Each structure stands twice: as structure tokens, then as C-alpha cells.
Amino acid sequence: MKTNQFFVGNVMKCKNYESDVFVEDKSFKDDQLECYSAEGYSGYDGDLVKEKAILIKLNVDEYIDIDNVKSTLALFKIYKYILKVCKKGKVLSTSPDHNDMLYIDFNSLKPYYAENQKVEKISLRQFKKNLNAKGCDIEW
């Protein structure tokens, strides 16, 4: 894995989620159905669930808590079945879309490794071994 995939951030639980305008437009263009949807405003509060969680970045706005990854095979399965896993709540986004959803506080996200770090790739097994050797104190 690339070292720029590892982050530290706070896991939050969404509460008081509000959304006021939902627009959905379906139209045909060149005999193809095109669907558009947008929300006008959404607001929410969050309760801290886990502070300074070690996260693996999967995609642009998708992270997984390393505690939910038992092995490299498990991580591969998460990549392979990402939609199924999302439904189980293991993949976390930086923006919630309903109450009681777990999400990552975007403002708390920090890279685990410094940008000038010489190591560019590390196995998940080696990362966990290093993490256990260091202990759980994470410097910001």
C-alpha cells in the first residue's frame, strides 16, 4: 500500500441531520434517460465516537478504520465489494447523509506519514506491526 493512503482522523456519529430541498429531474436526451438530483441545504451535528482513528483512504471521500481490517485479504474484499460494505457501515465518508451515520470529521484528517517520508509503500501487516511497536500515541 502507498503511505499516502494512511490518515488519522476523528470518527463522528451524525445527529440532527437536516436537508430542505431535494430536486430530482428525469429527462430523455438522444433516447437515453438522464437523471439529476441535488439537495439545496444540509446541516448536521456530530458526536465524537473515536478520536484519532487510524484510517485507510480507499477513494476520494471513502475511508475505513484500520480496526475493521483484519488482513490484506479483508482489505481486498472491501475494495471488491465496496457497495456491500458501505451498507454495513464499515466504509466512512466525510459527509453524512442521514442521522446515526458514522463519518469522518474532515477538519480532523491528517496524513499519518509526513510528506517528506522516504518510505513510499508499506504492507498492511508491516504497518500494523509498526503501529503495535510504537503504541497508540499519535503526534499531530
Is the per-residue pLDDT at 107 higher than 60? yes
In a domain, 58, yes or no: yes
Q: Give Dmax over CA atoms of the chain in angstroms.
A: 60
In a domain, 25, yes or no: yes
- Count of the separate structural domains present in the chain: 1
Cβ neighbours of residue 66 closer than 8 Å, sequence gap 6 or more: 53, 54, 55, 56, 127, 128, 131
In a domain, 139, yes or no: no
The answer to whether the CB of 24 falls within 8 A of the CB of 118 is no
Q: Which domain holds residue 66?
A: 3-134
Indicate if the alpha-carbon torsion angle 98, 109, 138, 112 is positive or negative. positive
Calculate the alpha carbon distances from 25 to 31, 34, 118 in Å.
Answer: 16, 8, 49
**Mean pLDDT value across residues 11-36:** 71
In a domain, 48, yes or no: yes
In a domain, 140, yes or no: no
| Mean of the per-residue pLDDT values of the chain | 75
Joined grid coordinates for residue 82: 465496496
pLDDT tens string 44-59: 888 999 999 989 888 7
pLDDT tens string 67-80: 877 776 766 666 66
